[in-house]
């Protein structure tokens, strides 16, 4: 089926629930009027369905091909043309800095574009997606010369970017990297080493590929405190001379086969230092946090496509009769959408998708406020929320995106298990999102081990202040009691971690994953309360659209069927580490 961008839901969220139209009052986003934002959403919706989606299955079937003698990678048929249309339409620079050729529009619009791109061709979307992180890292940490050299072609899409972190012997523990950068007399560096799992490391879509590479300088500490960041282009910007960085092969993956995942060999490649010596991790985290939010949108995008396919199939597939009696008297059987178990699956997809979209756009809006609001306290509160929710967006949206793709396959039954239908590709493509840019367990550890204690616990206090303020200012808010109970569970869990984690770090680590999920469900409960309250107010004013009616029903489903999970998440956290860590070495095998 052809993808349908969820424009009505997006407009409801942006303007009725989140008041994103207020962004136009900020100097930085004065041009981001509601009309402009809607036009961008509608145009990307068309582009995604008409240009990106037709190349998705081809990309999965053909994959990328590697020519070892030339160290070159060819992308699947249609990818190059679609990419050129993407950059020529200006999508690659949507929220990029204006002074370097970007459009300077709100980040929340970029989130929406990312969802639509990932719904229709996640593999192709990864090439410009990684460029966006490179742009942010260079803009925040690069010298003026590096910015003037690299940002305009990266923003235009003429060049693409990568992030080169992982090596064969290390993934998350980057202190173990062996790539070295030796200073040269001209102020550049000679970079040597091997990086693996590099998205877009080599391809035929752009004129140049700009690698941001973590490496260690001579004499640097052999830990993360000794890591520096370097920009290493495929072609040197002066004279287009080929640099000594080559693709050594492609990874053989279960999904996202149209995305070139490369082994990259740096053989004395010329590079330039980004930021200060031994400060590479700080610069790289600018890029990584961008990528983590983008990966969250991958989970949501695939989940939305899975829901659309599931719903269309369930409305047409005839199978058995409804337990309540025949609903399709003129046919031999009823469509499977009448069966309660199918409704259970579809409702979970629908309600979680809309809740996750609300969480993502709320976070994107906070990102915009954190950089553009004139009030310093407002900027700080927004930044607190972005830092706190970044691992939540990445982990929860990819966990549930993957789950919803699997649920969609289940709705289709045997058809879903075949390549004749798109669900099995969505299942394969979406599985990686829970792993890369830091596994979801790492996201949970970041949340509990770093974000909860940051600035004396200010970040989590900002979140609780937001939630409590909402209930105080909206005493008649929909589902307020269930929201209050979930907030109390999150508070109890936070107190338990504060009490037990300092004495025994394993306790905090054992609680991390259920704690992240508890926070995600609580924040989504806040947003579903806002959505249901807004829908009720608009209906009371005379708007009886199907979307508003569905919001009330969907909110009820969330609070009755999904939010109760917070109770056992709290019980899981409070039960501690004991049963998890108790087995000795010889007890693992009976």
> Which are the catalytic amino acids?
437
237 - beta bridge partners?
A: none
Distance CA 353, CA 342 (A): 17
Q: Give CB contacts under 8 A, 24+ apart, made by 488-495.
A: 489/518, 489/522, 489/566, 489/567, 489/569, 489/570, 490/464, 490/518, 490/519, 490/522, 490/566, 491/464, 492/570, 492/574, 493/518, 493/569, 493/570, 493/573, 493/574, 494/452, 494/460
Quick one: CA dihedral 138, 295, 59, 42, positive or negative? negative
DSSP state of 76: P
Determine contact, residues 509/451, Cβ cutoff 8 Å.
no
- For residue 502, the number of C-alpha atoms closer than 13 Å in the C-beta half-sphere is 6
**DSSP per residue, 171-204:** SS-GGG---EEEE-TTS-EEEEEEEEEEETSS-S
User: Are the C-beta atoms of 346 and 354 separated by less than 8 Å?
Assistant: no
Task: State the DSSP code for 73.
Answer: E
Closest CA to 555 of 485, 505, 480: 480
Nearest 5 degrees, angle CA 310-CA 311-CA 316?
100
* Residue 73 backbone dihedrals phi, psi, to 5 degrees: -120, 135
Residues 105, 30 contacting (CB under 8 angstroms):
no
Decide: 253 and 69 in contact? Cβ < 8 Å.
no
């Amino acid at each position: 089926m052809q993808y349908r961008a969820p424009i009505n839901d997006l407009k409801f969220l942006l303007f009725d629930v989140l008041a994103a139209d207020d962004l136009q009052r900020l100097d930085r986003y004065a041009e981001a009027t509601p009309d402009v934002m809607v036009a961008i959403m509608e145009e990307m919706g068309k582009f995604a369905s008409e240009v990106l989606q037709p190349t998705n299955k081809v990309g999965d079937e053909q994959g990328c091909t590697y020519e070892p003698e030339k160290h070159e990678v060819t992308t699947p048929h249609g990818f190059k043309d679609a990419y050129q249309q993407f950059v020529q339409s200006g999508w690659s620079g949507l929220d990029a800095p204006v002074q370097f050729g970007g459009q300077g529009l709100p980040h929340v619009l970029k989130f929406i574009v990312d969802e639509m791109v990932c719904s229709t061709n996640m593999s192709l979307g990864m090439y410009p997606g990684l460029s966006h992180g490179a742009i942010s890292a260079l803009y925040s940490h690069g010298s003026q010369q590096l910015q003037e050299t690299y940002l305009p072609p990266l923003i235009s899409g003429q060049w693409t970017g990568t992030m080169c972190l992982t090596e064969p012997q290390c993934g998350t523990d980057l202190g173990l990297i062996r790539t070295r950068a030796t200073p040269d007399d001209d102020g550049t560096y000679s970079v040597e080493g091997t990086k693996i799992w590099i998205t877009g490391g080599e391809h035929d879509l752009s004129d140049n590929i700009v690698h941001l590479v973590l490496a260690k300088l001579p004499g640097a500490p052999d830990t993360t405190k000794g890591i520096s960041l370097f920009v290493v282009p495929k072609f040197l910007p002066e004279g287009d001379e080929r640099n000594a960085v080559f693709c050594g092969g492609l990874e053989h993956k279960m999904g996202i086969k149209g995305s070139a995942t490369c082994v990259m060999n740096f053989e004395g490649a010329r590079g330039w230092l980004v930021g200060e010596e031994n400060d590479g991790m700080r610069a790289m985290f600018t890029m990584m946090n961008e990528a983590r939010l983008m990966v969250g949108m991958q989970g949501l995008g695939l989940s939305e496509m899975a829901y659309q396919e599931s719903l269309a199939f369930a409305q047409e597939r005839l199978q058995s009769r409804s337990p309540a009696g025949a609903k399709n008297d003129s046919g031999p059987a009823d469509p499977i959408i009448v069966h309660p178990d199918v409704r259970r699956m579809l409702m979970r997809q629908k309600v979680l998708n809309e809740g996750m979209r609300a969480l993502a756009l709320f976070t994107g809006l906070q990102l915009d406020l954190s950089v553009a609001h004139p009030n310093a306290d407002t900027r700080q509160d927004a930044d607190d929320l972005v830092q706190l929710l970044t691992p939540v967006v990445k982990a929860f949206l990819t966990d549930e995106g993957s789950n919803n793709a699997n649920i969609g396959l289940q709705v289709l039954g045997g058809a879903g298990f075949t390549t004749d239908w798109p669900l099995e590709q969505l299942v394969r493509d979406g599985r990686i999102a829970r792993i890369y840019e830091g596994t979801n367990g790492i996201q949970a550890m970041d949340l509990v081990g770093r974000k909860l204690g940051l600035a004396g616990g200010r970040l989590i206090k900002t979140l609780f202040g937001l939630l409590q303020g909402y209930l105080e200012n909206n005493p008649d808010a929909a589902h307020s009691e269930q929201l209050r109970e979930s907030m109390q569970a999150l508070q109890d869990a936070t107190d338990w971690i504060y009490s037990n984690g300092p004495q025994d770090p394993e306790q905090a680590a054992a609680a991390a994953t259920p704690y992240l999920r508890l926070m995600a469900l609580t924040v989504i409960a806040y947003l579903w309360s806002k959505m249901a309250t807004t829908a009720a107010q608009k209906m009371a004013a005379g708007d009886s659209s199907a979307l508003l009616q569905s919001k009330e029903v969907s909110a009820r489903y969330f609070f009755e069927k999904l939010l109760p999970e917070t109770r056992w998440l709290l019980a899981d956290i409070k039960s501690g580490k004991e049963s998890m860590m108790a087995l000795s070495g010889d007890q693992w095998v009976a």
